[in-house]
Amino acid sequence: MEDTDTTAPSAGPELNPTQREVLDHLGASATERPTFDPGVAQSLRSYLDDSIASLLDGPDGLGLTEIQRQRTPLFIAKHALMLVHNCEGLFVAESEVPFSWSVHTAKGTIVHKAIELGISWDGDPVPRMLVDEAIASLTESTDNIGDWLYGLSERERAELRSEAVEMVTAFSEVFPPLEARWRPVAEVRLRAEPHKGAVILSGRPDLTLGQPRGNIAGKVIIDLKTGAARGHHTDDLRFYALLETLARGTPPRLLATVYLDSGTIRSEPVTEDLLTAAVRRTMDGIARIAALRLADAPAELRPGNSCRWCPARATCAVGTQFLSELDNPDRYDPD
Ligand code: SF4
């Protein structure tokens, strides 16, 4: 955050203990902020450029020319990386299911828009009002969610509003009111285009606070979640840290996942080792996604809990076998 002592919020509404904890967790004094080597972003860029060049253009390359001929870069986002590192069959199966808007898929977009409006709203914003304004704004937008919102039935609209209000209310009770001096930004777009744009890495963190001063890190990248903590939440934020570093030159200071249901927070400071791990994981994901998409490589199946919601579940023998063993009560027999 911008000010040196974020544990001293401006005069305003009294904070509840969870808001106080979140504030203490995310804030840092000037002396606690790390200074990064000015060459860190360039070294990450070079690693990506060289690795992608050898992946596509090398003797056994997958064919940059094919990507250029089709004028279709390889788009990589955190969700694709999560899937391909989880189970490649799951990645392929999800790629074949066309995206469609529903109350479930639209809820996050509405919530993020409501939070974005709340940041600049004068006075004390009421969650229901912010959600209604978010729905109205997105209905008028040229984004394709606008068409879907326009055609909503009354029941769907009520469900969407109810679920979004619940999340925005939780956000307002877990986070302290966001002060302008913390430079809060909701859903900022981050993008990198290594190797002449053959690959496009993109992401939109839910919320960022603070900013760097030269090579001194100051930004906090935050993802908001409902439900339980998952291992890939950490990887998602590390991917954002990589994008932020590639796009802005100075890494963020802290990564934090805030769980709105439980009012808990998990965070880790950004280091050069963390960025190295992130760029390697990203490159491993790019390599496998390129192989699966450009070279029809066979997908490596890694059964796990995701078999339960995998679109290929009905036809995947490996997943079916795994689930039947998992659900077998004898598996839990202590003898
Ligand atoms: S059912 Fe399981 S093993 Fe099969 S593709 Fe899906 S996630 Fe992978």
Is 2's pLDDT higher than 50? Answer: no
High-pLDDT (> 70) share of the chain, %:
90
**Lowest-confidence segment of 66-70, 82-86, 117-121, 227-231 by average pLDDT:** 66-70
pLDDT band, very low/low/confident/very high, at 4 (cuts 50, 70, 90): very low
- DSSP assignment of 161-209 equals HHHHHHHHHHHHHHSPPPPGGG--EES--EEE-HHHHTEEEEE--SEEE
**Lowest-confidence segment of 51-55, 77-81, 97-101, 225-229 by average pLDDT:** 225-229
Residue nearest to atom 5 of ligand 1 (CA): 89
Is 64's pLDDT higher than 70? Answer: no
pLDDT band, very low/low/confident/very high, at 58 (cuts 50, 70, 90): low
- Cα 282 from Cα 290, distance rounded (Å): 12
**Lowest-confidence segment of 34-48, 59-73, 141-155, 284-298 by average pLDDT:** 59-73
Report the separation in Å between the CA atom of 85 and the middle of ligand 1, taken as the mean of its atom positions. Answer: 12
Report the separation in Å between the CA atom of 303 and the middle of ligand 1, taken as the mean of its atom positions. Answer: 5
Residue nearest to atom 4 of ligand 1 (CA): 319
Which secondary-structure segment (H or E) carries 241?
Answer: helix 231-248
Residue 176 is encoded by which pair of tokens? 């302290």
Report the separation in Å between the CA atom of 43 and the middle of ligand 1, taken as the mean of its atom positions. Answer: 36
Ligand 1 atom closest to Cα of 299? 5
Ligand 1 atom closest to Cα of 302? 3
238 φ, ψ to 5°?
-65, -35
- If 0-12 CB within 10 Å is exposed, 13-18 middle and 19+ buried, where does residue 171 land? buried
Is 335's pLDDT higher than 60? Answer: no
Residue 307 is encoded by which pair of tokens? 């078999």
pLDDT (average), residues 315-322: 95
Is 284's pLDDT higher than 50? Answer: yes
Strands (E), the chain: 74-76, 185-186, 190-192, 199-203, 207-209, 220-225, 254-259, 264-269
Is 34's pLDDT higher than 80? Answer: yes
- Answer with the residue of higher pLDDT: 124 or 200: 200
pLDDT (average), residues 108-133: 91
- Cα 203 from Cα 195, distance rounded (Å): 18
Amino acid at 124: D
pLDDT band, very low/low/confident/very high, at 164 (cuts 50, 70, 90): very high
Residue 230 is encoded by which pair of tokens? 């998952």
Is 289's pLDDT higher than 70? Answer: yes
- Answer with the residue of higher pLDDT: 189 or 329: 189
Report the separation in Å between the CA atom of 96 and the middle of ligand 1, taken as the mean of its atom positions. Answer: 14
Instruction: Read off the pLDDT of residues 237-248 as tens digits, 9 standing for 90 and up.
Output: 999 999 999 999
**Lowest-confidence segment of 195-209, 217-231, 265-279, 317-331 by average pLDDT:** 317-331
pLDDT of residue 66: 57
Q: Specify whether the CB–CB gap between 145 and 182 falls below 8 A.
A: no
Stated pTM of the model? 0.89
Report the separation in Å between the CA atom of 97 and the middle of ligand 1, taken as the mean of its atom positions. Answer: 15
pLDDT (average), residues 177-203: 92
pLDDT (average), residues 156-183: 94
Rg, the chain, Cα only:
22
pLDDT of residue 230: 86
Is 87's pLDDT higher than 60? Answer: yes
Query: Which of 310, 315, 325 has most ligand 1 atoms within 8 Å of its beta carbon, as the pocket-test mutant?
Result: 310
Could you tell me the CA-to-CA distances from 53 to 122, 275, 279, 295 in Å, in that order? 50, 20, 15, 16
- Which protein residues are within 6 Å of ligand 1, measured from CB? 87, 89-90, 93, 301, 303, 306-307, 310, 312-313, 316, 318-319
Residue nearest to atom 7 of ligand 1 (CA): 307
